Chain A
Amino acid sequence: MFERVEVFYRPASVREAVRLLAGGKGRARIVAGGTDLVVDGDPTARALIDITHSGLAYIRKQGGGCAIGAATTMAELEESRTILALGGGILARAAATCGSIQIRGVATVGGNLANGSPAADLVTPLLVLDAVVVVADAKGRRKLPIAEYLAARGTKGLRQSLLVEVTAPRPLGRRCGWSFQKLGRTALDISVVNVAAGLQVDGAGRIQWARVALGAVAPTAIRAGATEENLQGRTLDAEAIAQAAEGVMREVSPISDVRASAAYRREMCRVLTRRALEECAAQAGCAL
């Protein structure tokens, strides 16, 4: 599968990795768990740069939020107390649905984002957590909000850079609710649809802010901006949830493929969004 790969590097630092990437003239590929790269077997790859020894496997508390190194595995996310405590643990929950236990033992956060699949399990929770992606290239490090990263991922500006870290700020305040919902065909499956949601209500049960992200229903995972706006300031009740669930159906642009039809995906956006917001409401202490 990599018959034309000439060299395999294992840099000991990010600086070295970035240098190797720049020197690869577009034919070097970053590899960590290899669960996408090896399957794809890109015939244009001439050099592989393994970043699992570049000091990028870590989960750190950082200013109330956390910083996650790109080479952190799904298994590590799943079990990390820091991640379990962050945003109701939705990131850990998403990581736990990502492939088999063998896959989760090697697949990494960086790979899940950099591969750019619209169905990537970590992306919707990270969108809802307002995560920031840190990339490095020869010129230094840059921070990008995750939505911006997803949009720019394939562009020239990012192609020669290495995703090194994802940071999530600590969501402040009381009466927050969080949820991650995934629909697959079997227990081990890429998402047919996945939905993450987070919100906060005030003392009167009014929604201060709400975030809803949907995966596998658009070219990248998306935030349902209009739905979020409509929720803001409303009392979190069954009607608000039902309207939001209807609303997301207008914000998605799913396709039909061998996994599901577009119509089914759209309908499932409604169902999963409703379930996600109901779970958020329960956590935020709102009776529906």
Chain B
Amino acid sequence: MTGRKVVGVNVRKVEGHKLVTGAPAFTDDIEMQGMLYGKILPSPHAHARIKRIDTRKAKALAGVHAVLTYKDVPRVPHTTAGQAWPEPSPYDTYLLDSKVRFVGDRVAAVAAESRAIAEKALRLIEVDYEVLPAVIDMELAMAPGAAVIHDEPDSTKIYDRSHNIAGYILREIGSVEQGFRESDFVVEREFRTHRQQHTPLEPHITICWLDPNGRLVIRTSSQVPYHTRRQVGQILQIPVSSIHVIKPRMGGGFGGKQEMLLEDICGALTLASRRPVKMEFTREEEFYMARSRHPQRLRMKMGVKRDGTVLASQLTVLATTGAYGSHSTTVQGNTGSKVLPLYRAPHMRFECHVVYTNAPVAGAFRGYGCPQGFFAQETLVDEIACELGMDPLDFHRMNVIRLGDTDLLSAQLGEGKEGLPRVVRSCGLPQCMESAARAIGWAQKRKKFPSGHSHLRRGVGMACTMQGSGIAGVDWASAFLKMNEDGSFYLQVGASDVGAGADTVLSQIAAETLGVTLDKVIITSGDTDITPFDVGAYASSTTIISGGAVKKAAGKVRAQVLEVASRMLDAPVDQLDCANNEVFTTCACRKAVSMTDLAMQAMYKEKFQIMDGASHFNTDSPPPFCATFAEVEVDTETGQVHVLHLASAVDPGTAINPMQAEGQVEGAVAQGLGYALTEELVLDADGRPLNPNFLDYKMFGFQDMPKLTTILIETDEPLGPYGAKSISEVPINGPAPAIANAIFHAVGIRIRKLPIRPEDVLRALHAERPANLDEEAMFAL
């Protein structure tokens, strides 16, 4: 490497000791005097108008301090999506409303002295509903006569409210019609994806109180403290200056907490009761009152030459955002902009309708539209390769985006507006493919399988995926550093560590730049009073954007350190360097001063606080790449699919902390496996969740996990701090298509619907594969 001392090293998490010793680090770990418990009365109906609501009995109950309905709060159209201002999501949500739009929507809220009293108070609220026809099936949302979900006049930024269309996207580069005409083979298929929930270990939780100055303090498990501050101010109609958002340690977010979800109502209850209020979703509430992944129906069409060259690809998507349009066009935009450009087709077209339904609200979720798109694209590509008699690996080698390529679709599809063209300045995808293929034994197993006559059949499949690193031209961050007397540095960042290790990575970047050991960096993050602005933890942005700000700030502080050292060592700045907590001359004289002595000199002799801050943004979003290879065993009698081995090779640019990076890959893979095979929030015909619990919402547990191989293919990204891009999202995209393709290799059926349920596999086996079909013939297709 490059003589780096801290970056690229597997240091332990800076907050690790605190977490494993159970120190009071999380939102819930404080108890405020006089704290009340807030609860939301959820709508029992998918679509209804509140004709009458009477809270007198609830208010009269001893121990109840506040009861709020739509009559008691300001009506401010907004979005709960934690996005940079102006948010591209529709302003279609209200703190409380006289209409409810999904089972679980807010009807009223109470704050009481115990959870039991709060729950009792909810039962005492009398509500008469006018139940309205509900739209549950997204395919019917745009149909003539369908109930209009957002008929209120004051919502804004809705594409076509009378047809329940939250957003619409159409982008084309080249001409797909021409591309398909010039193609030798054109294949079109339809795919369906489902509603996955984030299931963070720590559900959404917020504690609000008024500080002695009467400012509203919001202690909350959020990926977006700054956006939350702005949005709560807007919704409660109080100045941003009177709000202080604190983000403690978090038990996971996965996108579900890129959302202002409890903070507004908890703040409103605090203002109403003048008491601290805690609100926490139960696990059941988390399933349907929080957010989930957008279900989509995708029609994908691709045209290729006989030799396998991709000429044109077209993706047409129908997606539902549920009752509110949080992240509606941006998630779906990604389904096109981050997926199609993986192939170097000159002609691409992406069209998408995002519709409202009376269903739980979809939102940001690790992958942000890409898992759906890549499931379609990578499954279709596998089919095309097999049809052409090509090894899918060769097909990928031939067609995937390369170093130096410009992705023009991204230029057309930005975050809610025109984007910026994306140039591939670093690309480890070829090595990712080769190393993951080796790990899975691709060359041998593609030939050998399927073998034997047992009911257990094995196969291998692959997928290539990419993502972004921050939103180009939108995401930005800042950092501030000051030096202490002992030569340590206080690092303040708005970045929001969700548990993924941002605090550690950002400290590593600061320590590396300043030439100090990691213990000399003390970090505070995600506190709107103390730390400077950061958009928050989303879009795979923290390492590259917040890290970029830290590197810049540290560079400025380093320059100040060298100035002082220059005077102390009587040497010009350009002959100074710092490492191991000292500044030394690079000339033969080898003079040195410790950071401690230097700090004392600066502070008490020169009367000078070494400190500086910096802001950072990028005009490009460098893609991390991933190759996912799966080996599966299909039980042809039960339809069960057992993943035996999953290999992911990822190009994250430089891995600032390789151990944490691998952890991110493995976590994404576990969530990706669940997405592929078992996890689905199921609604009944009336929009009620059927499995809002871990008994029947099946996640991958330890015993279900296959053998994992995780490979980091490091590259040097010019736009990233120390060459870093991102890693937390991209590996979630591959498991579903890789498994679907492995199933085809094993038993010859194409799966185009997620999750891949045993029943569906069995049905497909019965339908597509007569029992006596000759194996050789089938695989000679």
Interface residues of A (CB under 8 A from B): 3, 100, 183, 185-190, 257-261, 263-264, 267-268, 271
Contact = CB atoms under 8 A, between A and B. Distances in A.
Nearest to A184: B698
A20 B177 CA distance: 80
Given A185-B678, A268-B638, A271-B637, A261 B700 contact: no
Nearest to A100: B701
Contacts of A187: 701, 703-704
A155 B704 CA distance: 40
B762 A3 contact: no
26 contacts: A100-B701, A183-B640, A185-B678, A185-B698, A185-B758, A186-B699, A186-B703, A186-B704, A187-B703, A188-B701, A188-B703, A188-B704, A189-B698, A190-B695, A258-B682, A258-B690, A259-B696, A260-B758, A260-B759, A263-B759, A264-B758, A264-B759, A264-B762, A267-B762, A268-B638, A271-B638
B444 to A, nearest CB: 29
A271 B639 CA distance: 11
A3 B119 CA distance: 11
* Shortest Cβ-Cβ A-B pairs, 3 listed: A187-B703, A264-B759, A258-B690
A93 B699 CA distance: 23
Interface in B691-720: 691, 695-696, 698-701, 703-704
A186 B116 CA distance: 35
A100 B639 CA distance: 24
Given A186-B700, A186-B703, A260-B759, 17 more contacts: A100-B701, A185-B758, A186-B699, A186-B704, A187-B701, A188-B701, A188-B704, A258-B682, A258-B696, A259-B696, A261-B759, A264-B758, A264-B759, A264-B762, A267-B762, A268-B638, A271-B637
B696 A183 contact: no
B701 A186 contact: yes
A258 B691 contact: yes
A74 to B, nearest CB: 16
A19 B696 CA distance: 37
Interface string B621-642: 0000000000000000111100
Contacts of B696: 258-259
Secondary structure at the A interface, as helix, strand, loop or mixed, is loop
Contacts of A3: 116
A100 B703 CA distance: 10
Contacts of A186: 678, 698-701, 703-704
A100 B678 CA distance: 18
Nearest to A187: B703
Nearest to A267: B762
A151 to B, nearest CB: 26
B22 to A, nearest CB: 18
A183 B690 contact: no
A43 to B, nearest CB: 11
Nearest to B635: A271
Nearest to B759: A264
Nearest to B455: A271
A88 B638 CA distance: 24
Nearest to B701: A188
A190 B691 CA distance: 13
Contacts of B701: 100, 186-188
A5 to B, nearest CB: 12
A264 B758 CA distance: 9
Contacts of B759: 260-261, 263-264
Contacts of A100: 701
Nearest to B696: A258
Nearest to B691: A258
Contacts of A261: 759
B693 to A, nearest CB: 9
A151 B430 CA distance: 64
Nearest to B699: A186
Contacts of B678: 185-186
Nearest to B639: A264
A268 B638 CA distance: 7
Most chain A CB neighbours (cut-off 10 Å) among B638, B682, B703: B638
Nearest to B697: A258
Contacts of B700: 186
Most chain B CB neighbours (cut-off 10 Å) among A3, A100, A186, A189: A186
A258 B690 CA distance: 7
Interface in B744-765: 758-759, 762
A100 B640 CA distance: 21
A183 B638 contact: yes
Nearest to B640: A183
A268 B690 CA distance: 23
Contacts of B637: 271
A254 B703 CA distance: 28
B523 to A, nearest CB: 35
B690 to A, nearest CB: 5
A277 B426 CA distance: 59
A99 to B, nearest CB: 10
Contacts of B638: 183, 268, 271
A50 B638 CA distance: 41
Contacts of B762: 264, 267
